[in-house]
Copies of this chain bind each other. A is one copy, B any other.
């Protein structure tokens, strides 16, 4: 951030009075510009024993496999956002079944909110941001070609919970230097 989005004058980075963190501050109109983490919502689309994955057509991690997920928008609920991402990336309709995982990624200022979901029909295909979409059984999951650690953790935990037939809500902090497993 270099300029004030309210008045267009240059901003400076300083700790405002009564605060304890540096913020971009406009000395002209006195606006303080707060920057906060973003939410990524997604789901695990389940069809019988299989899970729907998307192969990314965009950076980062172009060509790698992911669960449908993306930035939550203003004016929507988390579940609406998860369903929308599934429609955009896999042209797939799902019913959200429950909250599944919540991750903090402080090094990239992101929070992941992942849901279990039921694929409503087999009428899916690659959306604009996907090269292809495909159903995988647990044995077929391309573990070495998953796009993000959040997706790895989500799938790993999902199959583990499914084994015991008891789905929980999982929380986890993911730091910059953690290995994928």
- Determine whether the beta carbon of B109 is less than 8 Å from that of A74: yes
Given contacts A3-B8, A173-B77, is CB(A71)–CB(B36) below 8 Å?
Answer: yes
A163 at the binding interface (Cβ < 8 Å): no
Given contacts A18-B128, A173-B77, A173-B79, is CB(A72)–CB(B37) below 8 Å?
Answer: yes
Q: Which of A33-82 contact B (CB under 8 A)?
A: 33-39, 71-80
A13 at the binding interface (Cβ < 8 Å): no
- Determine whether the beta carbon of A3 is less than 8 Å from that of B5: yes
Given contacts A5-B3, A8-B3, A79-B104, is CB(A35)–CB(B109) below 8 Å?
Answer: no
A101 → chain B, closest Cβ, in Å?
A: 10
CA distance in complex: A38, B18 (Å): 21
A98 → chain B, closest Cβ, in Å?
A: 8
CA distance in complex: A57, B165 (Å): 48
Please indicate the chain B residues that have their CB under 8 angstroms from the CB of A15 in the complex. none
A110 → chain B, closest Cβ, in Å?
A: 10
A interface, CB within 8 angstroms of B: 1-11, 18, 21, 24, 33-39, 71-80, 99, 102, 104, 106-107, 109, 111, 113, 128, 169, 171, 173
CA distance in complex: A39, B112 (Å): 12
A4 → chain B, closest Cβ, in Å?
A: 7
Pick from B2, B75, B102: contact of A6, CB below 8 A: B2
Please indicate the chain B residues that have their CB under 8 angstroms from the CB of A38 in the complex. 36
- Determine whether the beta carbon of B8 is less than 8 Å from that of A1: no
A10 → chain B, closest Cβ, in Å?
A: 7
Please indicate the chain B residues that have their CB under 8 angstroms from the CB of A75 in the complex. 106-107, 109
CA distance in complex: A25, B7 (Å): 16
CA distance in complex: A76, B24 (Å): 18
